[in-house]
A = this chain, B = another copy of it.
Amino acid sequence: MQWKVYLSGEIHTDWRKKIADCVQQEGLDIVLSSAVTDHQTSDDCGDRILGAENNLFWKDHKAAKINSIRIKTLIQKADLVVVRFGDQYRQWNAAFDAGYAVALGKPIITLHDETLTHALKEVNAAAMASVRTPEQVVAILKYSITSVC
- Copy tally for this chain in the complex stands at 8
Whether the Cβ atoms of A73 and B64 lie closer than 8 Å is: no
Cross-chain contact A63 with B96 (CB below 8 angstroms): no
Query: Which residues in chain A, 95-149, are within 8 Å of chain B measured between CB atoms?
Result: 95-105, 107, 116-126, 128-131, 136, 139-140, 143-145, 147-149
Using an 8 Å CB-CB cutoff, how does the interface string of A66-86 with B read, 1 for contact, 0 for none? 111111111011011000010
A41–B32 Cα distance when bound, in Å, is 26
Interface residue count on the A side (C-beta < 8 Å):
80
Within 8 A of B (CB), among A7-58: 31, 33, 36-38, 41, 45, 48-50, 53-58
CB distance from A65 to the nearest CB of B (A): 5
Closest to A47 in B: B149
Tell whether, in the assembled complex, residue A61 and residue B93 are in contact, meaning their CB atoms are under 8 Å apart: no
Residues B95 and A143 in contact, CB atoms below 8 Å apart = no
Give me 8 A-to-B residue pairs in the complex whose CB atoms sit less than 8 angstroms apart, sorted by A's number.
A49-B143, A57-B130, A60-B121, A68-B107, A68-B128, A96-B123, A99-B103, A105-B105
Beyond A1-B74, A64-B122, A66-B140, 20 additional pairs, beta carbon < 8 A? A45-B143, A50-B131, A57-B117, A64-B121, A65-B129, A66-B129, A69-B129, A69-B140, A70-B144, A70-B145, A71-B122, A73-B107, A90-B91, A96-B98, A96-B123, A97-B99, A99-B100, A99-B103, A102-B103, A103-B104
